[in-house]
Chain A
Amino acid sequence: MIHVGLNHFLIVSAILFSFGIFGIVTRKNAVMVLMGIELILNAANINFVAFARYGNLGYNGQVMALFIIILAAAEAAIALAIVLNVYKNFSNVNVDEIDNLKE
């Protein structure tokens, strides 16, 4: 029987974080980028909860995870609104084409 410990959680979290980064960097679509950000936030959540269980954070970790969930919801709402506006202005949501500030 494999004992599930802190390291497993951290590895899952790291994998999730890496997927998130990968999603942000490789996707053109802004919505997909947002989803990558979501993944990163959730990786952090897993870390907080894992440290709350195995470390000495206590319930602080749980509460922090709840905050992050709420924050992610708010972030998603605002970010999607921005994406909608971006689509209105540029007729697409490709992040690499939205480079008006470059020059």
Chain B
Amino acid sequence: MTESSLIQLSVVLLFLPLFGFTLTLFFGKKIKGMFWFENFVIFLGLVGSIVLAYHKLSFFNHEITGEFTWIDLKSFSFLGAIKIELGILIDNISVIMLVTVYIISFVVHVFSIDYMKGDKRYNRYFAYLGIFTFSMNGIVLTHNFLMMYIFWELVGLSSYLLIGFWFEKKSASDAAKKAFIVNRIGDIGMLIGILMIFTNYHTFTFDKIFLAISNGHLPFDSGFWLTVVGILLFCGAVGKSAQFPLHVWLPDAMEGPTPVSALIHAATMVAAGVYFITRIFPILSGDALFVIAIIGALSAFIPATIALTQNDIKKVLAYSTISQLGYMIMALGVGAYTFAFFHLITHAFFKACLFLGSGSVIHSMHHEQDIRNMGGLRKKMPLTYYTFLVASLALSGIPLTSGFLSKDGILAGSYAFASITGHWLFPIVGFLVAILTAFYMFRLIILTFHGKPRDQHKYEHAKESKFAMAMPLVVLSTLSLFIWFTPNPFNPEAGWVLSSWVKTPELSTPEASRYAFMQKDSVVEPGGKEAGVEEPEMIYSSAYTEAMHHAHIPAMILSLLMAISGIVLAFLFYQYKKLDIDKIKEKFKPLYNLSYNKWYFDEIYQATFVAGTIRISRLLAWFDNKVVDGIVNGSATVTKWFSNFSGTFDNVIVDGIVNFMAYLSGILGLIFRKFQTGKVQTYIVLVIFSIVILLFLFKPF
């Protein structure tokens, strides 16, 4: 395949789901089997994306871009010539992401066939899945900020449609609104960032902006503004990836159908934020990265503590999603770019598997979501149990799974970062979250699948899901194993993903604004390297490469220890009941309450932002009602009074004169009418009398 045919293929892949969406939406009501068409379209897309990825990864080393000028503003005297270009960027991370999106989308489609059976808006549901896939593909394939923003909003729209899919439920429509509004807050920052960039560079295209920055053309000519732009752009990712403090929408979004949670809130939509940061990584200055790392660490830690005490199976997974996304963001912030992207991919698979597994449980338990009413499902649903277990192991970071590889990389990255810069809080948070993750995942598994059934009635009705729902679970849990990513289960860098496909990009930021370890080595050591001996690839600087090298082994051992101790703790607490959970609850009552009530974020936001907004709205309403309306009403009164006066003048005086004239004419007419009898003889008499009178008057003789 040539470059242009790859571009064409990717354009087709981009628009295929839109095609599916349009046809399914318009003909879904008439043709009952329209969802098969949507499934088929996504399957085609999956095949196409694999072909695309294969060709790109095997035969092309460089980025492929295809672009065209969308809007050409030739002569703006005060701006210069502006061309707004749209285009496609095919590089390694975009094709890998595209395949991931299509795989998840396809299995979710297949899973939904059974899961949503009997829903009254069955075909429309599939159409919405289609437009979601379309918008995600747009984000993945774009080569400029403008398209990124457009598709970013489309993702917001489709998540709104899907979260609120059962909009008859008040909680579902509220959750949809919440997701949309909270996302908007982040998007405002992103929009401002994009506009700042456009103001400075007159283009939206990534490459051109990166080039301009690496040539020393900074926004508003200062490194400070570069940091500001980076943080503003990051705001968008905070909203979309549900990072602290805008994470509150994601747990509520669990009101949507469960496969939607797998598609949007686990694997792809929230991945958009992380993907966006990987795209703009070269222009993030050291300060911006540090902010990103802090936000990431907070987002990893807080939801992990919340997940410990939640009783809704989907809520636990939702908080775990936020926590894992926080990991990725933190990894990006500490410069572990490749591991962040790697974790994005691996997490997508096992988190989708977990969500679909929970969907399978919920489906067979007749929409029971509370894990306190479950238990013992292992015997009833073995397939769901084992796939769920594999994915949980991956999430906890147990060897032989993909999650182990990527998580270990992230922890090693933060460890290396700390060993150079001295910010030890990042790895500590990372390891702490690792133990929490293992604990809450196995708490979930034990409460759901192990032990004795706590709701006997529902337990007896539970049964293993059918093929269409089981197959996706098996596929996804298989994809959570290490073998797809690397042949060596203990060394992520030995694998093809990290060794040849995903590379840390060349930074564009000026040297001075980077982290110290990201600055290029000033002294190139002369000699010492024999020709032909392949050096391990150097990232950033030799100091960092060194630190990373040393970090791997301790990080791996520590993370493994953490994961195992978390799992053991969970078993001690919930399976063997060696430790009394209630006693600990009592002992740490405030902490428990804090976690159980989700750190009171919703309440705080309710009390501050929501209540504040309402108060401001009330004030504005009062102002409108009293002052603005008062002015309007006052002027209306004056006008009315004046009109009344003018009306009276018209009616009485002007009309009076006119009517009087008419009346006068009428009177005269009445008088003269008497003479006009129509009888010639009368006229003659009158003429004669008049003549006689005239004769007497004028006396002509």
Are A and B bound to each other? yes
- A residues apposed to B, CB below 8 Å: 21, 24-26, 33, 95-96, 99, 101-103
> Is B681 within 8 A of A25, CB to CB?
yes
B616 within 8 A of partner (CB): no
The reply to whether A102 and B676 form a contact with Cβ atoms under 8 Å apart is: yes
Binary flags per residue of B376-394, CB closer than 8 Å to A gives 1, else 0? 0000000000000000000
Chain B residues lying within 8 Å of A101, measured Cβ to Cβ, are: 678
Chain B residues in the interface with A (C-beta under 8 A): 676-681, 684-685, 688
Show 20 residue pairs from A and B whose CB-CB distance is below 8 angstroms, ordered by the A residue.
A21-B688, A24-B681, A24-B684, A25-B681, A25-B684, A25-B685, A26-B681, A33-B681, A95-B680, A95-B681, A96-B679, A96-B681, A99-B677, A99-B678, A99-B679, A101-B678, A102-B676, A102-B677, A102-B678, A103-B678
Residues on B with beta carbons closer than 8 Å to the beta carbon of A96: 679, 681
Return the chain B residue nearest A99 by Cβ.
B678
A residues in contact with B685, CB < 8 Å: 25
Q: Which 3 pairs from chain A and chain B are nearest by CB?
A: A102-B678, A99-B678, A96-B679
Determine how close the nearest CB of chain B comes to the CB of A93; give it in whole angstroms. Answer: 13
Residues of A within 8 A of B677 (CB): 99, 102
Distance between Cα atoms of A77 and B371 in the complex (Å) = 129
Q: What separation, in Å, do the CA atoms of A99 and B676 have in the docked complex?
A: 11
Inter-chain CA distance A25–B681, complex, in Å, is 5
B676 nearest CB across to chain A (Å): 7
Nearest B residue to A24 via CB reads B684
**19 additional contacts, CB 8 Å, given A99-B678, A102-B676, A102-B678?**
A21-B684, A21-B688, A24-B681, A24-B684, A25-B681, A25-B684, A25-B685, A26-B681, A33-B681, A95-B679, A95-B680, A95-B681, A96-B679, A96-B681, A99-B677, A99-B679, A101-B678, A102-B677, A103-B678
Give Cα distance in the complex from A72 to B41, angstroms: 114
Label chain A's interface by main secondary structure: helix
| Residues of chain B with a CB closer than 8 A to A25's CB | 681, 684-685
User: Which A residues are in CB contact (< 8 Å) with B679?
Assistant: 95-96, 99
Bound-complex Cα distance A99 to B678 (A): 5
Instruction: List chain A residues, Cβ under 8 A from B678.
Output: 99, 101-103
- Report how far A99 CA is from B684 CA in the complex, Å: 15
Q: B680 to chain A: which residues have CB within 8 Å?
A: 95
CB nearest neighbor in B for A101: B678
Residues of chain A with a CB closer than 8 A to B681's CB: 24-26, 33, 95-96
B677 nearest CB across to chain A (Å) = 7
Q: Give the complex CA separation of A96 and B679 in angstroms.
A: 5
Q: Specify which of B677, B679, B685 lies most central, judged by the most chain A CB atoms within 10 Å of its CB.
A: B679
CA distance in complex: A95, B684 (Å): 12
CA separation between A24 and B680, bound complex, in Å? 9
Chain B positions within 8 Å of A24 at CB level: 681, 684
Among A24, A25, A26, A103, the most chain B Cβ lie within 10 Å of the Cβ of A25
Q: How far is the CA of A21 from the CA of B678 in the complex (A)?
A: 18
In the complex, what distance in Å separates the CA atom of A21 from the CA atom of B680? Answer: 12
Q: Determine the distance from Cα of A98 to Cα of B209 in the docked complex, in whole angstroms.
A: 105
- B676's nearest neighbour on chain A, judged by CB, is A102
The complex places the Cα of A33 from the Cα of B680 at a distance, in Å, of: 11
Complex CA gap A103/B677 in Å reads: 10
A27 to chain B, nearest CB (A): 8
Report the bound CA distance from A96 to B680 in whole Å.
7
Chain B residue at minimum C-beta to C-beta distance from A30: B680
Enumerate chain B residues within 8 angstroms of A21, measured Cβ to Cβ.
684, 688
Please indicate the chain B residues that have their CB under 8 angstroms from the CB of A102 in the complex. Answer: 676-678
Q: How distant is B373 from chain A, measured CB to nearest CB, in Å?
A: 101
Q: Give Cα distance in the complex from A99 to B685, angstroms.
A: 17
Q: Cβ of A33: which chain B residues have Cβ within 8 Å of it? A: 681
Instruction: Tell me which residues across on chain B come within 8 A of A95, comparing CB atoms.
Output: 679-681
| Cα(A96)–Cα(B681), bound, Å | 8
Q: What residue of chain A has the Cβ atom nearest to residue B679's Cβ?
A: A96
Q: How far, in Å, is A80 (CB) from chain B's closest CB?
A: 17
Q: In whole angstroms, how far apart are the Cα atoms of A89 and B681 in the complex?
A: 20
Interface centre among B677, B681, B688 (most CB of A within 10 A): B681
CB distance from B291 to the nearest CB of A (A): 100
Instruction: List the A residue with the shortest CB-CB distance to B688.
Output: A21
Inter-chain contacts of A103 with B (CB < 8 A): 678
Residue of A nearest to B685 (CB): A25
- How many Å lie between the Cα of A25 and that of B688 in the bound state? 10
CB B124 to nearest CB in A, in angstroms, measures 77
How long is the Cα–Cα vector from A29 to B678 in the complex, in angstroms?
16
Contact residues in B for A99 (Cβ distance below 8 Å): 677-679
Q: How far is the CA of A21 from the CA of B687 in the complex (A)?
A: 11
In the bound complex, residues from chain A placing their C-beta under 8 Å from that of B684 are: 21, 24-25
Chain A nearest CB, measured from B681 CB (Å):
5
Q: Which residue of B lies closest to A26 (CB)?
A: B681
* B676 surroundings in chain A (CB, below 8 A): 102
A19 to B681 CA separation, bound complex (whole angstroms): 14
Taken together as a complex, chains A and B put the C-alpha atoms of A33 and B685 apart, in Å, by: 13
